[in-house]
Every structure is written in C-alpha cells, then in structure tokens.
Structure 1
Amino acid sequence: MMQAISTKLPIVSGCYMNSSSGIARTFVASQALREKHECQVLIVGGGSGGCALAAKLSSKLGKHKVTVVEPAEQHYYQPMFTLIGGGMKRLEQSYRPMAEVLPKNINWIKSEAVEFDPKNNTVKTANGTNIKYDMLLLATGLQLNYEKIPGLVEALSIPNGKVCSNYSPKYVDRTYACLQNIQEGNAIFTFPASPVKCPGAPQKIVYIAEHYFRKLGKRNKITVTYNTSLPVIFGVKHYADALWKVVEKRDIKVNLLRNLIEVRPNEDVAVFQNLDKPEEIFEEKFAMLHVTPPMSTPTVLAQCKELVNAAGFVDVDKSTLQHLRYKNVFAIGDCSASPNSKTAASAAAQSPVVYRNMLAQLKGKELKSIYDGYASCPLVTGYHSCILAEFDYDLKPLETFPFAQNKERYSMFFLKKALMPTLYWKVMLNGHWNGPALMRKVLSVLKFEKKVNA
C-alpha cells in the first residue's frame, strides 16, 4: 500500500477531505496523482440506485462508457436487515460480491471518492485516480454516524452486550442475540434526530421484538418503548392511524420528540432529550437498547458546498433529479435532497426518471421525465404480518393493490420476506425494475372494469 503524504502537495480547486477530517489518504504518492481516467458517465456509489443506473446506461451507451466508483467488496440488500435482526433471515443471505452485481461492460474503480470538482467536471479517488466526466450521477447513499452519540460505539463493542442496531452489517446479528438474552426489564428502541434510510425500519423491529417476547412467554416481564425524535409515529396519516392501533393493542409505549443523546453502557442507561423542551433530560434504564444511528451524506460530499444544500444533500430539482446549478449532475437515492422517504423503492421509482433525463441532457434535449415522490415502506408488524405503506410527495397513499393496504396482512409479509429480495437481485439491479407504477395502472384498470361490469 502506498504511504499517504503531506497535504502540502499542490491540489486542484474543488471540495476535498483534508487531514483535519481524519482522511490523510486523500493525498497519495505523486505517480498515482498523475493517473487520468475519462468517461462519458461517472457514477459515484454502487448501491441500489447506482447499480440500476449503471445497468441502464451502460446497456444504452455501450461498453466502457460508464465508470462506477465504489470501494466496497460486497453489496448488501439492506431492507433484509430488519428480518435478520428478528431472526427470520441470516446475514449471509443479504449480500452478493460487488463484482457480481455491477454490469460487466462498465469500468469499476474500486476506491472511494475524496474530492469533487464540478466546475472542472472531475472527481478524485483515494487511490489517486483523477476522473474526467461528461456527466456525473451521485448515488452515494447515507453514512451511519454511530460516533455522534457518546458511549454508543463502546456499548456496541461489548461482547454479548445489551445494545444493538439493525442498520449495520457489523451490528445486526446483535439484535437477535439481544431478543434472546433479555428476560425482563425495559426494551427501548430509538429513532434519531436526522434523516434516515427506510424511516419505517426503526419501528419495524419494535413490533417484531414485541411479537418475539410474546412467542417466548416473557412479554409480561418486559416493557417495550419506542422513543422517536419525530412528532408523529409515521409521516403518512393513513398508515399512522393504523400503527397507533397496533401499539395500543399490544401495549407498546411511544414517546414522541424524544431523542437519544448518550449511552452509558456501564450503567445500562440511555439518556434522552425532549426536543419540544430541550432542557428536559430523561435517563432510562434498559435491559435491551436498539439504536438507529444519526445519518448524513458522506462527509466528503457534504463538504462540497457547490453540490449540496445547507443540510448536506445533493441540491437537485425534486421532479427531474437534475442538479439546480450543474446541469450535467444528477442524483439518485438517499443522498438526494428530494423530499421523499429514503427507501430502495424510491430509488427504483427514480431510476427511469434519472435514466431518461440523463440521456436527454447528453443529447441537449428538454428533460421531460418527472418523479412524483413515490416511496414504499413495508411495515413489518410481526412474524407473519405487514402493512404495506405506499405514498407520494404529498404524503398521500399511492397504493398498488386493489385492497386496503393500511391493514396488517400475511400476503404483504410474504411479499416483503420472500418476493422482494428476488425482485431486487434479479430485476432491479439489472435495471429492469422501475417500481410498481405500471402494475398499479394495470390493477386500477382491472378494478375499474370490475366495478363497471358489476
């Protein structure tokens, strides 16, 4: 491995990680710095949106026209982490080698982006490659900031400990161990004061855990509490009303506007702040604590003020997903500033919009494809039930099936557990799944015809 060298080396203008941010490897040996790479389309990020667009664009533009920058060896199907935490799936079922999910006809630079220079259409990677692009797609996803909560990383490092988190492959197996180990006391679950990927996931594990405790006959000894920083249990009232009925029926305590600010693992104490009255601090003893960490866009991206808004998200038009200032820059998925719920289903619905608009921009044509904010959240409520929430920018239901989806159903659980992973690996990552919009139209037509003929 090449040794990192001083930041006294000359650097080009742009946004970069410096040594004060703890990433000294931004600047590597001079030979690597001179390496050049040019491409028609550069995609930064190999998650669900990045892979889907890499497949679509490389198929259209041809071999080696698309370059993907992604350092990871493995690609995770993150929606499965909830089921892993509940003991319904295994971690090894949730990932594939990155080399298998990226298209074969692209260039893969197995490194991380460390500098963005949109004025000069370049990106620099940690291995020193300077990439010149005609068009840039940002698909970086979100980073997990466990270290932002004092004591949390320490708590998660304790072998066979009482603190767990479904959000990282590093910690997800701890959740099922915690479910097994707790015999009595407080089981506390959290939602942080930050945007998160899959906003329904922090409460899915609440319902799964409560069901697990009932199955093992220890529910009457365990108090189940969901502390969320949000002012509502769920952002879409149509489904929130149904979820309040679930928590009331199952005696789950919900505290709104309550944010985790510290964990004291030696005392088994979680410290919360009342966001409505910040001076109010609550210390709660736990026998199990499931933490959803604060999240943000990757630091290197958030530091590039030319590309992001004040919150650190890529500053795009919410309809076209094109950058507001740099017309050859687009974003997809969680790193985008579009105000939709950040889920894999959102990325799927965005993918045809971004694809068509990127091609139009390459040809100098008007961007006509529009994203309506569609998002889907399969709210697993136990070991055989699920509420399938689907909605748009206006937080109005945008449901696919011809029945009420704000009810707990086994069919929706089966869809989540058995069908969606196959759809993801076999169809979405290959660029062939654009969300259920077409299916929704077909089913609505059939439903209308049935009513007419009745």
Structure 2
Amino acid sequence: MKTRYQILIIGGGTAGIMVSSSLLKKNPKLHIGIIEPSESHRYQPAWTLVGGGTYNYKKTLRPMKTVIPKRADWIKEEVVSIDGKNNTVTISNGRHITYEFLVIAPGLKLAPSLTEGLDESLDKGVVCSNYTDPNHTWQVIKNFKGGVALFIQPPKPYKCGGAPQKVMYLADDHFKKRGIKKNTSVVFASASDIIFSVKKIADTLWKVVNRKGINVKFEHELKKVDGKNKIAWFKVAPDFVEHNPTQLQVLEENGLVGIKYDMLHVVPINIPPDFIGKSNLADENGWVNIDSKTLQHKQFSNIFSLGDASNLPTSKTGAAIRKQAPVVVNNILLLIKTKELGNKVYDGYTSCPFITGYGKMALAEFDYDKNFMPDPKLKRMFIKDSSKEHWRLWILKKYILPYLYWNKMLKGKEV
C-alpha cells in the first residue's frame, strides 16, 4: 500500500467521487488516493421514492469499484484520525498516509442512540426511517390500516431539508388511494417553527398541507420513543403553533408531551464522524471548519471539505455538492499550478426536490441568503415556475436525475 499521495480524498460518496473524477478528467497525471471502507455506493436521493413504493432499492446501489475512477487508488479502510499539522491521515490498519492536499468528504453519521428508545425501535414494527431502511418504510406505509401516522422533523443539521416531509406527502397520497385517509390522522411534528425557510416554497407547501389536512405541530423536538406502547415523547415549546388540529391521544410526563401513534417515521439525529471532532480541523460542533465561499480550511490551506461533513451553512444535499465540487477542483488545481486560489466561489446553492404526491413535485433551489434561484435549464422542460407543483418535475426526480448522477456527475462532468 502506498503511503503518500499528491491528493488524498476521504470518502467515496457523492462528493469524493465527483471531486476525484473531475480532477483526473482535467489532469490525468494527478496521484490520487480515495479512502472508503464501503463496498457499495448509494444514490440516497431516490430513497424517498423507495419509501413510497415507487422505486427499486437495488437501483440505488452500485459496487464501489465501479464508481471509483480507474486512475485513482481505492484505500478500503476507515479513517481513524487526521493530523492537519503534519499532513497525515491514520487508517484502520494502523498505517499512516501523508498528502500534499486533503479533501474531507466522508459524509455524516446517523445517531439513533442519542434519542432514548430509538435504537431499540428503529426499523422494527411500525417505526421506520427513509434514512436507514426505505424498504421497511414502504412496508409500514403499505400495511398501515389507519389511525395516527406520525412524521418527525428533527433540529438541524440533517441531510436534505425536505426529506422528513416528502415521505409524509407520499404516504398521505397512498392512504387516500387505498381509501383509509378518512380513518387516518397524518401528523407532522417539527422541531422547527416554520414549514420551510424559502418563502416561495413555503407558500406551496402550505397549500399542500392544507389540501391534505395534515396536522402540523411546530417546536416539537423528539426526545424519546416508547416502541412497546407506541408513544413518541417530545420537548414542546409552551407557545408552540399548530395548524389543522386533529383529535389525538396526548400524554404528559416529566415535562415531556407524548403522542400515541400507529406508525412513526423518524429522522435519527445527524452528527459528524468522530475522527473529525477529535481532530484539529473541526469547529465547535465537530464539523470541518472551512471558508463558506472557497471551501478551504480556515487554518490549513492545503485542506478542503465539501458535502455533509463540512460546516457550510446550507442544506446538506447532493445538489449542493454538485455546485461545491467544481470550486474545490478549481482551487486545488490552481494551488498546484500557481500556489494561489482562483476566483471561483460557492454561493451556498442547494436544492431540495419536494415531492408532494405521486406524480407531483416542486423544486426548492436557493442560496445562503435563502433566495429562490431556479435553474434556467428547467425552462427546456417547459417549467415556468419550479416553486409550484408540476408533473414534469416528478419526471426529473424519478428518471432524469438518477441518469445524470450515474452517467455525468460521478464521471466528473458538470451538469
């Protein structure tokens, strides 16, 4: 095994593969190593569709060896530690690898153990999550007979700002098609105090919520899951706001409010990988501490980060990485050539495809300042306003984006 690389990349997910492929496309002579322990590469944006019973889970997986660029070395180990001062990464076989440039893109970790009772309940019975097992989510939705369908949105940060809502809208649509909607209360319990941070999208979502009659409870933070008795316990703000109230079985105990459920969709707390928090590269919350425009580390100029593990103040999505990767690639190539950064910067662009039912979607695209900024290319699909629900956006989500991901983005082509 080689122990020194010109460019070392931590992570074989969307960010790591996009950056490595693009770098080698622009300069095939670069000496690149990719540290990634997993055998499979996952296209997680489609897991919402899997959880809604309209996409095959197997299509979201590819062998890792098929997506790693041929001219890059695959180091199939886990990262134990990073020493930015000495340009060294220690991996799980005990070896030390040095680098000239480091790209940190390992993604984040799901931590169900941080919510009391969730570890024991998750992906069992009627407790499900698209973040962990979308196939189980579909089984829960498909077998639901009526009652309270409870969907949780945790405090930020978490992957894809709209994911906790999207599965709810699909489930509601499915309940309606099966004729059990009249016997069902769909409840959205959110730790936030707003439906979404971009007004144009929020306006659309409120129309969806009101059309479906979904009970929205703001400032409800999940603290405990009692899987045996089917009770979700929340820390609730005393002056919380509620929309479309419905009759529920509510309990109070030890300062928490409990809601009885017949199915529960949760989002486990998202945390940074341990090796980042323990390094000299993290901010106070354990995420990689980088400049929000250049994506360069604030202390070590030869280190960059992007994707879910970074502390960028934007939604953690694959669409964000699509705009972040070219900035990282451009800056590294210029540093190698001229010792200086380029003028290319990241403006915080991210997007969230808001599926609002089978065959319907709105597309939230925005920057750091929450400005709605739709891609001009959408007009080629005859979509005038992507903040509104449209069937063509559903086609984009289900068919076009997966194709672009596997055949363009992971090949280092900008889309």
Q: TM-score, normalised by structure 2?
A: 0.92
- The CA distance in 2 between the partners of 1:277 and 1:321, in whole Å, is 39
Matched, 1:198 2:193: no
Q: Which residue of 2 aligns with 1:416?
A: 397
- The CA distance in 2 between the partners of 1:157 and 1:390, in whole Å, is 31
- The CA distance in 1 between the partners of 2:5 and 2:160, in whole Å, is 32
The correspondence for 1:54, drawn from 16, 20, 23, is 20
Q: Which residue of 2 aligns with 1:179?
A: 141
- 1:40, 1:65 within 8 Å by CA — same for their partners in 2? yes
1:156 deviation in Å? 2.2
SS at match of 2:3: strand
- 1:63, 1:106 within 8 Å by CA — same for their partners in 2? no
1:362 deviation in Å? 2.1
Q: Which residue of 2 aligns with 1:296?
A: 271
SS at match of 2:93: coil
Matched, 1:253 2:215: yes
1:61 deviation in Å? 3.7
Q: Which residue of 2 aligns with 1:335?
A: 309
- 1:194, 1:296 within 8 Å by CA — same for their partners in 2? no
Gaps of 5+ in 2: 241-253
Structure-2 change in CA distance of 1:333 and 1:157 (3 Å): closer
1:338 deviation in Å? 1.4
- 1:379, 1:386 within 8 Å by CA — same for their partners in 2? yes
C-alpha distance after superposition, 1:194-246 (max 9, x if no partner)? 30111111100010000000000000101001111112111111101110111
- 2:7, 2:30 within 8 Å by CA — same for their partners in 1? no
Tell me the amino acid that sits aligned with residue 53 of structure 2: G
Q: Name the structure, 1 or 2, with higher relative contact order (CA <8 Å, separation 6+).
A: 2
Q: Which residue of 1 aligns with 2:96?
A: 130
Q: Which residue of 2 aligns with 1:391?
A: 366
- The CA distance in 2 between the partners of 1:139 and 1:53, in whole Å, is 10
- 1:36, 1:130 within 8 Å by CA — same for their partners in 2? no
Matched, 1:430 2:394: no
1:157 deviation in Å? 5.2
Q: Which residue of 1 aligns with 2:61?
A: 95
Q: Which residue of 1 aligns with 2:174?
A: 212
- 1:188, 1:225 within 8 Å by CA — same for their partners in 2? yes
SS at match of 1:239: helix
SS at match of 2:408: helix
- The CA distance in 1 between the partners of 2:291 and 2:309, in whole Å, is 13
Between the aligned residues of both structures, percent identity stands at 40
C-alpha distance after superposition, 1:257-311 (max 9, x if no partner)? 111111111101111111567985211111000001110111111222x211111
- 1:69, 1:111 within 8 Å by CA — same for their partners in 2? yes
Matched, 1:141 2:107: yes
The correspondence for 1:154, drawn from 113, 120, 131, is 120
SS at match of 1:318: coil
- The CA distance in 2 between the partners of 1:265 and 1:301, in whole Å, is 33
- The CA distance in 1 between the partners of 2:333 and 2:61, in whole Å, is 30
Q: How many residues align?
A: 395
Structure-2 change in CA distance of 1:280 and 1:235 (3 Å): farther
Gaps of 5+ in 1: 1-34, 435-454
Q: Which residue of 1 aligns with 2:86?
A: 120
Q: Which residue of 2 aligns with 1:405?
A: 386
1:148 deviation in Å? 1.0
Q: TM-score, normalised by structure 1?
A: 0.85
Tell me the amino acid that sits aligned with residue 85 of structure 1: G
- 1:309, 1:315 within 8 Å by CA — same for their partners in 2? yes
The correspondence for 1:366, drawn from 318, 337, 341, is 341
SS at match of 2:6: strand
RMSD: 1.5
Q: Which residue of 2 aligns with 1:444?
A: none
1:36 deviation in Å? 5.9
